[in-house]
């Protein structure tokens, strides 16, 4: 007698092999409006009517970047897509295509990868409609690793770089700041068992009840605001992936100015300000605009650009961060943060 579906051993990438696994995954992926030739050949062909294209890549590794005990396949797909789509948006470009490379343990179920692929489609359709997944690669590794390369179309616009902020500009942010940092802090504080190992059941409960936890696991950045910012005349822009203080400092150094941030606009309380300054992986957008510009999309003013000063590239209410009592606002650095194996 054949085993019932409940008793059947799940197919894994190790039991099926690459060809059969890909046959299960590829139908879930979006084709994309700019795709001329998708998966199946040695390389894809994507249209570039502007004769230029924006390209970026991002890597997620189990341990320093995510915990499988806390993250579902859908979380990983959404987060991987969001981080790359937001980088394209930060250049003022419209995302057009993703290339996805996966290295997973041999015991990974094909159902896990099907969920990953289906969520990539949903993330693209939601965050950047018309974006396709046009190819990639798969391999086996004891450590799950996800690498995505994203492409974008400038549609005739100049790219919005980091070095264009000018004295007098308004500093603005799109989306909510510090949300991912708050969510991660709660996971580390509560989503662990008695021995300190990540606990999936607690994480699921937190995900359902706390929007900050849900955002950390699967962020939903305002990708469309990147094009809106470029069209509104943004003088500089970048994706807020490593924390406001660190990323604003990158704009300040590139533009040879100081970004003076408004504590009240960051939430007012010391905890809110610290979260906004130090928290990474929000994947929202930071931009500067000429004074008087009607801020587009979800952008809101959080400061102003002033002359470069001895207090550093980023100040808070006119004071150096060290003197403003916000503690460590150095931001996310995987090399400093990672100190051991993940559960």
User: What residue numbers does the annotated binding site for Mg(2+) cover?
Assistant: 42, 56-58, 87, 137, 239, 242
* Residue 165: closest CA among 289, 56, 272, 42: 289
Counting the structural domains of the chain, the total is: 2
User: What residue numbers does the annotated binding site for ATP cover?
Assistant: 136-137, 162, 241
Q: Is residue 2 part of a domain?
A: no
Q: Is residue 23 part of a domain?
A: yes
Q: Is residue 104 part of a domain?
A: yes
Is residue 142 domain-shared with residue 231, that is, in the same domain?
no
Q: What is the CATH number of the domain that holds 315?
A: 3.90.650.10
Is residue 146 domain-shared with residue 228, that is, in the same domain?
no
pLDDT, tens digit, 9 for 90 and up, residues 149-194: 999 999 999 999 999 999 999 999 998 898 999 999 999 999 999 8
Cα gap 209→219, rounded to integer Å: 16
The predicted pLDDT at position 26 comes to: 87
Is residue 228 domain-shared with residue 115, that is, in the same domain?
no
User: What residue numbers does the annotated binding site cover?
Assistant: 42, 56-58, 65, 87, 136-137, 162, 239, 241-242, 281, 332
Cα gap 16→139, rounded to integer Å: 13
Q: Is residue 111 part of a domain?
A: yes
Q: Is residue 212 part of a domain?
A: no
Is residue 35 domain-shared with residue 136, that is, in the same domain?
yes
Please spell the DSSP secondary structure of 120-182, one letter per residue. HHHHHHHHSTT-EEEEEEEEE-SS-EEEEEEEEE-TTPPP--SS---TTPEEEEES-SSHHHH
Is residue 245 domain-shared with residue 146, that is, in the same domain?
no
Is residue 136 domain-shared with residue 250, that is, in the same domain?
no
Contact 227, 92 (CB under 8 A): yes
User: What residue numbers does the annotated binding site for substrate cover?
Assistant: 65, 281, 332
Per-residue pLDDT of the chain (343 residues; tens, 9 = 90+): 455 555 678 899 888 888 888 889 888 988 999 999 999 888 999 999 999 999 999 999 999 899 999 999 999 999 999 999 999 999 999 999 999 999 999 999 999 999 999 999 999 999 999 999 999 999 999 999 999 999 999 999 999 999 999 999 999 999 889 899 999 999 999 999 988 899 999 999 999 999 999 999 999 999 999 999 999 999 999 999 998 999 999 999 999 999 999 999 998 788 888 888 988 888 999 999 999 999 999 999 999 999 998 877 999 999 988 755 655 555 555 555 544 333 3
Contact 29, 121 (CB under 8 A): yes
DSSP3 helix / strand / coil % (the chain, rounded to 5): 35, 25, 40
pLDDT, tens digit, 9 for 90 and up, residues 199-243: 999 999 999 999 999 999 999 999 999 999 999 999 999 999 998
Cα gap 242→323, rounded to integer Å: 21
Residue 315's domain comprises: 170-175+221-329
Is residue 147 domain-shared with residue 225, that is, in the same domain?
no
The predicted pLDDT at position 340 comes to: 38
Q: Is residue 97 part of a domain?
A: yes
Query: For the whole model, what pTM was predicted?
Result: 0.90
Is residue 227 domain-shared with residue 325, that is, in the same domain?
yes
Q: Is residue 40 part of a domain?
A: yes
42: left (phi over 0), alpha (psi -120 to 50) or beta: alpha
Is residue 132 domain-shared with residue 28, that is, in the same domain?
yes
Q: Is residue 264 part of a domain?
A: yes
Q: What is the CATH number of the domain that holds 73?
A: 3.30.1330.10
Is residue 250 domain-shared with residue 137, that is, in the same domain?
no
């Amino acid at each position: 007698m054949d085993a019932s579906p409940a008793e059947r051993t799940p197919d894994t990438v190790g039991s099926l092999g690459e060809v059969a696994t890909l046959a299960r995954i590829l139908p879930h992926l979006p084709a994309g409006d700019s795709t001329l030739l998708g998966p199946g050949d040695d390389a894809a062909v994507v249209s570039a009517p502007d004769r230029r294209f924006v390209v970026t890549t991002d890597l997620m590794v189990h341990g320093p970047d995510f915990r499988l005990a806390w993250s579902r396949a859908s979380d990983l797909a959404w987060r991987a897509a969001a981080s790359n789509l937001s980088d394209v948006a930060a250049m003022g470009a419209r995302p057009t295509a993703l290339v996805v490379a996966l290295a997973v343990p041999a015991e990974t179920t094909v159902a896990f990868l099907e969920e990953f692929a289906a969520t990539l489609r949903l993330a693209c359709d939601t965050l950047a409609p018309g974006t396709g997944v046009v190819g990639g690669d798969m391999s086996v590794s004891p450590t799950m690793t996800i690498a995505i390369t994203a492409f974008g179309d400038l549609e005739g616009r100049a790219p919005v770089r980091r070095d264009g902020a000018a004295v007098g500009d308004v500093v603005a942010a799109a989306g909510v700041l510090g949300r991912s940092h708050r969510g991660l802090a709660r996971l580390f504080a509560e989503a662990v068992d008695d021995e300190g190992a990540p606990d999936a059941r607690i994480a699921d409960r937190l995900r359902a009840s706390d929007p900050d936890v849900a955002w950390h696991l699967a962020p939903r950045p305002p990708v469309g605001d990147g094009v809106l910012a470029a069209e509104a005349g943004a003088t500089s822009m970048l994706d807020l992936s490593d924390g406001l203080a660190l990323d604003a400092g990158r704009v300040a150094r590139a533009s040879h100015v100081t970004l003076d941030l408004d504590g009240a606009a960051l939430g007012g309380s010391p905890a809110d300000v610290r979260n906004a300054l130090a928290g990474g992986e929000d994947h929202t957008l930071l931009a500067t605009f000429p004074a008087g510009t009607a801020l587009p999309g979800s952008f809101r003013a959080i400061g102003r650009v002033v002359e470069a000063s001895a207090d550093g590239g980023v100040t808070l209410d006119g004071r150096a961060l060290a003197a403003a009592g916000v503690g460590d606002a150095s931001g996310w650095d995987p090399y400093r943060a990672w100190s051991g194996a993940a559960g």
